[in-house]
Structure 1
């Protein structure tokens, strides 16, 4: 490999990039953490003012810290964002332009996955969204003729190697796709970030792999940390129900968010305090509570997930993730046949990896954990191409089938129909909330592997416009996963195993995990459309599918701390944790006009505030003027309403 150009200025890197490419720029940038923010901002600033150099940027998940908001939200978010992200965090300039629909005509930004809900109202973002399976993105980049790829990297101590670290997902596949079309290899530009954890193996390349390596001067802004969200009763119930599907010695894939956090907490509790775990299951009425197979993990799990997140850290630390694999078909076959030799086991321990991912993203604690890993622990984590993680058909299918035994793929959806279709990425009018990402990949893989299951997790209801609505519906104007691929759905009220079932049986199973308030209407619709017999009865326990019954079932565990608000740690201070709960209650209570009037009236006649710490944190300890006094009263009411466990 030739030596790259080493630079210490992002502006100099932009100069060199522009000199090496004639005409329009077709630039690829990793999703999430791997974006070189300062380099991209310098490139955008240069191109924004020069219409003679059109820019087409292809990326996904352009992370942007939360904005200021208004009222109480702004009072909470501004201090938190300053502390968590730092005042010097380089917000992506093109994202700010997208939010205002202010990209110049000669600049296009095309994303295949959006930060959830962040760009719902951006016409430019919605129009240039590309609906793609994660594993099809590299092919699309080849079709678009990408001529440059920019990426944030870590650098070895001696400077001879670079690590793609957080994003091995698409870079290699995209280069291969471009070259396979007879096009020149893209110009590769690396921005070194000393804050990025070093990961070796497939993530590491010689410095000469890149054409340009830029090391901007410090100080270096913090890596983007996703704030961990609280886990409520419904989330915990979903997580514990889901955990009963996981087999010892199996394979685990999970998404991100409170539902994944709850699942990982349940799996860790199953391993470290099995009696407590089964007690929670009994309280939830789970038929699996007495299942002998739900004992602590002996073989452990192998993690194979496009995204490595907070939950995997906990599962590694508690000894749940520990089943190792190697890229040797013969050895993995002997393990599957239970005839592995002592040498085989020694090699597994020496060379094996127990966690594979295509990218990682999480809290600052996750990044610190990756930095602090011992050499042996770091060696057990392999960052791979997304084509190697999310599908079976990349050339090593026999090996991957042996490695991914008893696979359980857990992802979330917004809604599901009683006939088994899932709504995960967009609304019925076409507006995109997030993206398909790898969800379809894992659903399809679950059907391709004989002993695998795909479980889509969803909350049974949502509050919108002051009304409670069911997330299990008869029909919807958009679907992400078609009903012919239905497999397992899990709500807080249980598990609906609908793989291979008739429509009648599928509807019955979905009704069993639907909130009681919506079961009869859905049942009547199914009967009216000839999909259920008129004498069809709801399941015997269906009347217990209420938030009140769930709250009562889990209240003792919430009080004891067995089900904490933040099972994987929190980025909020104790005062902020109280405020998060209070502000959530207040948002729900004032969602409708009537609710807002009732809440304001209650606040105006309620007792004086007791939680002075929270009021001080929000700058409302000594309110001035009518507006501030009303905010203080509303907050005090919300704090009292949420002061219990």
Structure 2
């Protein structure tokens, strides 16, 4: 058994005014983040950056901590609602550059890693994504060595001696198992499945709707995956022989992603699967995505307006998401790939998600949206003039909202 985690004094490693970042989602170094929250009052003002977090302590931030993110995901939504979260509206592909230029907090990195291998290096495991780039530009690295973090093949590694301090843990990784899809999700999934061809390379997110879409692809053959995250749904398709990557122009035979988020069973199986975790500077890079000529980007949104613009950041005046990688993948799929799909439920809280005009910022431009899908059908927008787009989109809105949308068009 590994030793109990040690109480870590951060004072030797942080200076007043320093910028701190930490890994996100299943790879978040929660004990180190908690130590920072406990000690920040004695450390002086600290700037911090993180992505998706499940740590409830980040709902109510200490006054000495200024937190920045690329969106309001998970527990950061509460901090955003309280006016305590600074959001940088950046494409995910730009995050590596922002760390390199020192424009994001990056003096000290808090990472969760697997135990060192025979070569003395620690794998970033299931959470490479922006951490794989940020570690290159950090003055100081502090590690949580978690004995349950899998050392996934192909993941970036850090030499044990490069860490200024370490703590050891033996804790389960945060899980986000598949949510059961409902009839609406399955209807959307059936429409999306008809747009994907055998041999295509798919990008898709995590959640109930993406899970339903992945299950809806079970009848396809030789699909590839190049995405920001992999989930249990991707693993099921790999194990069923649906995802083989046989026709990928780059990384053939391999699922490429930045991170994994799913069940404990997924994390346990990853070391034996043909999955390679790569940093954001690869997974989201325009030059890399342009080489995938059969890329199908499947993304969602909070709203779509009658010209095809999508909003995935703000709903009803609240920040509920971020730019993330949607524009990176949608743009690549629309310009040099096979198809850019926006899939969403036709209503949210009784309100139509197809709207006359977005009530928040434009996340993905209408020129980068080929198809919009709801449970009511498919609206093809590629090469569709503006004079026809509104009619096509109103036709796939919830029936009770169509008349109002058509009236708005007139």
Q: What is the TM-score with the length of structure 2 in the denominator?
A: 0.90
Mapped pair 1:266 → 2:266: no
d(CA) in 1 for partners of 2:110, 2:399: 51
Distance 1:159 1:47, change over 3 A: farther
**3-state DSSP of counterpart to 1:370:** helix
- Counterpart Cα distance in 1 of 2:16 and 2:76: 32
User: Contact 1:109/1:125 (CA < 8 Å) preserved in 2?
Assistant: no
| C-alpha distance after superposition, 1:366-410 (max 9, x if no partner) | 123225x2xxx3xx21110112111323xxx4xx544x2311111
Query: Does structure 1 retain, via aligned residues, the 8 Å contact 2:156–2:278?
Result: yes
- Quick check: 1:483 aligned with 2:366? yes
* 8 Å contact kept, 1:391–1:442: no
Query: Pairwise mapping of residues 574-613 of structure 1 onto structure 2 (< 5 A)?
Result: none
On the 8 A contact 1:55/1:107 being kept in 2, the answer is yes
How far apart are 1:235 and its partner, in Å? 0.5
| 8 Å CA contact retained: 2:53, 2:74 | no
Q: How does 1:436-515 map to 2 (within 5 A)?
A: 436-449=323-336, 451-463=337-349, 468-478=350-360, 479-515=362-398
Cα distance in 2, alignment partners of residues 175 and 161 from structure 1: 14
Q: 1:160 aligns with which of 106, 120, 136?
A: 120
Map 1:22-61 onto structure 2 (within 5 A): 22-48=15-41, 50=42, 53-61=44-52
User: Is 1:111 paired with 2:64?
Assistant: no
- In structure 1, what is the equivalent of residue 184 of structure 2? 234
Gaps of 5+ in 2: none
2:161 corresponding residue in structure 1: 208
- Cα pair distance change 1:108/1:192, threshold 3 Å: same
Q: Distance in 2 between matches of 1:96 and 1:462?
A: 24
Q: Where does residue 11 of structure 1 map in the other structure? A: 7
How far is 1:508 from its partner?
A: 2.1
Counterpart-to-counterpart distance in 1, 2:284 and 2:176: 23
Residue 188 of structure 1, CA deviation: 1.1
RMSD of aligned residue pairs (Cα, Å): 2.5
Kindly indicate whether the alpha-carbon contact (under 8 Å) linking 2:67 and 2:84 is maintained by their aligned counterparts in 1.
Answer: no
Describe the superposition over 1:587-617 as per-residue Cα deviations: whole angstroms up to 9, x where unpaired.
xxxxxxxxxxxxxxxxxxxxxxxxxxxxxxx
Q: CA 1:519/1:366 → structure 2, altered by over 3 Å: closer, same or farther?
A: same
Distance 1:233 1:198, change over 3 A: same
Contact kept? 2:18, 2:105, Cα under 8 Å: no
Tell me which protein shows more helix as a share of its residues. 1
Contact 1:353 1:381 in 2 (8 A): no
Query: Matched residue of 1:155: which SS?
Result: coil
Q: Please report how far the alpha carbon of residue 321 of structure 1 lies from its aligned counterpart in structure 2 after TM superposition.
A: 0.9
Matched, 1:188 2:121: no
CA distance 1:145–1:257, change in 2 (3 Å): closer
Aligned pairs (5 A) from 1:30-429: 30-48=23-41, 50=42, 53-64=44-55, 93=57, 95-98=58-61, 103-104=62-63, 106-116=64-74, 119-120=77-78, 122-124=80-82, 127-141=85-99, 142-144=102-104, 146-156=106-116, 158=118, 160-176=120-136, 178=137, 185-216=138-169, 220-268=170-218, 270-271=219-220, 297=221, 300-324=222-246, 353-370=253-270, 373=272, 377=273, 380-393=274-287, 397=288, 401-402=290-291, 404-427=292-315, 429=317
- Encode CA deviations 1:12-69: one digit per residue, 9 max, x unaligned: 4x34xx3244432211111212211111111221123x1x5222111111114xxxxx
Greater share of strand: 2
Distance 1:118 1:230 in 2: 24
1:10/1:39 contact within 8 Å kept:
no
CA distance in 1, matches of 2:177, 2:388: 40
Residues 181, 211 of structure 2: 8 Å contact kept: yes
Matching residue of 1:433: 320
Larger Rg: 1
